[in-house]
């Protein structure tokens, strides 16, 4: 497959498939060359194909080296005084090949690949990436194809992000949870929302409501910033989700609630002194509401076997209902962790 064909296939892919691509999925089938091949064989390959940038060198389909077009032509074919081809014509490619810059496994993510290649020496920064699968040569990924794919993914993720908080939206949330299920990780999922947010919006106005959501998003970001392997997403409106290790979920929720409640004087102004505010309920009748608080409903894979994102969503619906009941009874922020085994 040619480079431009790969670019076209990427552009034609669905958005969900682009998000799920691995580095091996965008590789090109460049025919490798055996270590016993001559310098002239490699030279003729490059002369016949102007798009060919790098040729892997293999021994029994195991990558042992590489030949990069520009450096090969400059150093081996031309040489210091222009006699390189005469001096090296009888040599095998094994004698002049370079060590592979990097050999990446088919199954690593594009983000991981991008981070790895940034560590390359400057002179190798634009080399094609060699891909192996089951320890054997599979193909190469041109840098421009990798960058194009990552750019498209970034655009999709940015479009999915919530405009108020900048946090990942529903696609990213689902992918993150499905990844952890697939990798057999043990994790907690915390659903966080604001109690009585609709009457707050009606009473104080949507501009203030948006500020409350923005504040909560920032609190969540700040709280998990130093906690490894944690993820925050914004489902929409006043609904947020956090994915983290079971050991951290409750303490994170406690810190989020504490930081949120410290802002209640800003959220409520003079009503903070009264400890309540008056707004219309769903029946359009005036009702006294408690100051804003949070409900944190936690579902853990430590005690339940979660098989899919849909399965998690089904369980979460029940857990959130129980958490909301508890919040209404206590009239304050609550943390409810589901401890059932099934």
Query: What stretch(es) of the chain map to CATH 3.10.580.10?
Result: 3-152
pLDDT of 17 reads: 64
CATH superfamily, domain at 3-152: CBS-domain (3.10.580.10)
Q: Residue 57 pairs with which residues in a beta bridge? A: 33, 65
Tens place of pLDDT per residue across the chain (342 aa): 454 544 434 444 545 467 778 999 999 999 999 999 998 899 999 999 999 999 999 999 999 999 999 999 888 877 665 556 666 777 889 999 999 988 999 999 888 888 888 888 888 888 999 999 999 999 999 998 998 888 888 887 777 789 899 999 998 899 899 989 988 999 999 999 999 999 999 999 999 999 999 999 999 999 998 898 899 999 999 999 999 999 999 999 999 999 999 999 999 999 999 999 998 887 788 899 999 999 999 999 998 889 999 999 999 999 999 999 998 888 899 999 986 655
pLDDT of 86 reads: 64
pLDDT of 236 reads: 93
**Assigned fold of 164-337:** Alpha-Beta Plaits (3.30.70)
pLDDT of 159 reads: 78
Query: What stretch(es) of the chain map to CATH 3.30.70.270?
Result: 164-337
Sign of the dihedral defined by the CA atoms of residues 203, 209, 212, 217, in that order: positive
pTM of the predicted structure, to 2 decimals: 0.65
């Amino acid at each position: 497959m040619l480079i431009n064909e790969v670019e076209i296939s990427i552009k034609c892919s669905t958005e969900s498939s682009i998000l799920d691509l691995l580095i091996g999925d965008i590789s090109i089938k460049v025919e490798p060359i055996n270590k016993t091949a001559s310098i002239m064989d490699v030279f003729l390959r490059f002369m016949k194909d102007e798009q060919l940038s790098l040729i892997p060198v293999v021994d029994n389909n195991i990558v042992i080296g590489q030949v990069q077009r520009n450096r090969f032509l400059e150093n081996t074919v031309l040489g210091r005084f222009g006699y390189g081809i005469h001096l090296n014509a009888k040599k095998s490619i094994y004698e002049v090949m370079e060590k592979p810059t990097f050999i990446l496994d088919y199954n690593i993510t594009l983000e991981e690949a991008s981070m790895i290649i940034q560590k390359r020496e400057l002179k190798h920064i634009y080399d094609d990436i060699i891909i192996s699968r089951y320890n054997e040569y599979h193909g190469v990924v041109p840098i421009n194809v990798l960058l194009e794919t990552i750019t498209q993914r970034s655009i999709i993720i940015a479009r999915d992000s919530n405009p108020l908080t900048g946090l990942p939206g529903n696609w990213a949330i689902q992918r993150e949870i499905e990844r952890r299920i697939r990798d057999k990780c043990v994790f907690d999922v915390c659903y966080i929302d604001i109690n009585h947010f609709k009457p707050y919006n009606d009473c104080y106005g949507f501009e203030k409501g948006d500020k409350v959501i923005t504040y909560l998003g920032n609190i969540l970001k700040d709280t998990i910033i130093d906690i490894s392997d944690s993820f925050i997403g914004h489902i929409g409106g006043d609904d947020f989700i956090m994915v983290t290790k079971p050991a951290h979920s409750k303490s994170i929720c406690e810190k989020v609630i504490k930081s949120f409640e410290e802002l209640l004087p800003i959220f409520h102004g003079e009503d903070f002194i009264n400890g309540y505010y008056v707004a219309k309920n769903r029946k359009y009748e005036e009702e006294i509401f408690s100051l804003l608080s949070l409900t944190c409903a936690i579902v853990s894979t430590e005690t339940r076997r979660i098989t899919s994102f849909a399965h998690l969503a089904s369980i979460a619906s029940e857990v959130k209902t129980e958490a909301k009941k508890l919040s209404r009874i206590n009239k304050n922020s609550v943390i409810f962790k589901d401890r059932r085994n099934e």
